[in-house]
Amino acid sequence: MMTSVERYYVGKEQWESILKDWLFKYHVLAPLKKAGNNHIQFITPDNYQKIIYDEARPVQPLKTFLLPSLEEVSGGFPETGKSFLLLGVKACDLSALPILDRAFGGDYADPFYQSRREKTLIVSSDCGQPWATCFCTLVGGQPYPLKGFDLNLSKVWDGFIIEVGSLKGRNLLDGYDKLLKDLVKEEELALQKMRREVLRKVDRQNHPYYLKRSLTGLLEGQWESEVWDRHASTCVECGACNFACPTCHCYYLDDVTRKEGVKLRGWDACLYSGYAVTAGGGTPRPRLVQRFRNRYYCKLQYLEKNYGQIGCTGCGRCIEGCQGRIDMRKAMHELSKSADPEHE
Ligand code: SF4
Ligand code: SF4
């Protein structure tokens, strides 16, 4: 068990030697720029210099790699050989992990999820430039990882401050001691300054959505609020908000009839009219506005009650991907105003 924080500074050249070594040992995935956005891709000796470390979260949520959107769950486990090393994971994706671990672990652990989780190393990194849709601070987070990583990288000057977060992380650095140096005060101060500035930036851009009520109490007495009808009115039931969300984890199972004994598991979306429909055709939420409202209650109330954590990390993907231009921050802000008439 880790007792104290272990941190080092690594220069650009030294970091690249470590990384080049890791490319032989692991399947390394990291964000690269593609069409103006950051997409997680396989890293090779040809593209490792283009990795985006210090911008905001990539398009794909972390769950994509632990819980594929469609997979066969009737056969054996996929043979991957080498472990996966996910580089540049952001705080908003890391905070979603305990929810996935809880849903697919514990007494009834899902062997497919577990085998991938055990074979995945996480090297996270601080956000340097949040997107306009990022709102981690509004939901109790911050734009840099505090826990849940094996190693964390904070870009300071030309190199990185590396923080060890687990035994797996410690093992990742074994053999590279000569490339790491102890942290000096200037590096520490530069890190604090950089984190303060990014935090302020996220806070500032979310000032218009400030919530007076605590998030967990936000939905008290809001079941009949007119906010649901107004915001759901532009929803086209595309399910993008569910699929892009790092904490959404509902799935369906499908017995493939043309191939005997094959069962598939795929991501499901609670905004779909077919979600939770029974064999006889009944549904608990026949109207779109009911499904829309349920998503907020699930994230802000039910998950908190059952898992001890709300189901939103403020990654902003649901805002960015919404075809109906629905902004969750705006809906939450309006709910907080309608709950407290004094709130401006
Ligand atoms: S609800 Fe939206 S902002 Fe919150 S974690 Fe899910 S996708 Fe991100
Ligand atoms: S992304 Fe927007 S339009 Fe699509 S289902 Fe979600 S709320 Fe509706």
The structure's pTM equals 0.95
CB 72 within 8 A of CB 125: no
* Any domain includes 1: no
Domains contained in the chain, number: 2
Whether 29 and 147 map to the same domain: the answer is: yes
Q: Above 80 in pLDDT, residue 140?
A: yes
Whether 128 and 251 map to the same domain: the answer is: no
Atom 5, ligand 1: residue with shortest CA distance: 312
Span 34-51, mean pLDDT?
94
In short, whether 241's Cβ falls inside 6 Å of ligand 2 is yes
Whether 235 and 308 map to the same domain: the answer is: yes
Whether 245 and 264 map to the same domain: the answer is: yes
Whether 51 and 192 map to the same domain: the answer is: yes
Span 290-317, mean pLDDT?
97
Whether 14 and 153 map to the same domain: the answer is: yes
In short, whether 247's Cβ falls inside 6 Å of ligand 1 is yes
Atom 2, ligand 1: residue with shortest CA distance: 318
Between CA 126 and CA 53 the distance in angstroms is 8
- Residue 271 CA: nearest ligand 2 atom is 5
* Any domain includes 244: yes
Whether 173 and 317 map to the same domain: the answer is: no
Whether 142 and 215 map to the same domain: the answer is: no
Could you tell me where the DSSP H helices lie in 88-205?
A: 91-94, 97-104, 111-118, 167-172, 185-205
Q: Looking at 162, 180, 205, which one is the last position of a domain?
A: 205
Whether 215 and 150 map to the same domain: the answer is: no
Between CA 266 and CA 70 the distance in angstroms is 4
Q: Looking at 205, 239, 255, which one is the last position of a domain?
A: 205
Whether 289 and 303 map to the same domain: the answer is: yes
Q: Looking at 188, 205, 222, which one is the last position of a domain?
A: 205
Q: Above 50 in pLDDT, residue 173?
A: yes
* Any domain includes 130: yes
Alpha-carbon dihedral 303, 308, 313, 319, rounded to 10 degrees: 20
Provide the domain limits for residue 167.
6-205
* Any domain includes 344: no
Whether 59 and 167 map to the same domain: the answer is: yes
pLDDT tens sequence across 88-136:
999 999 999 999 999 999 889 999 999 999 999 999 999 999 999 999 9
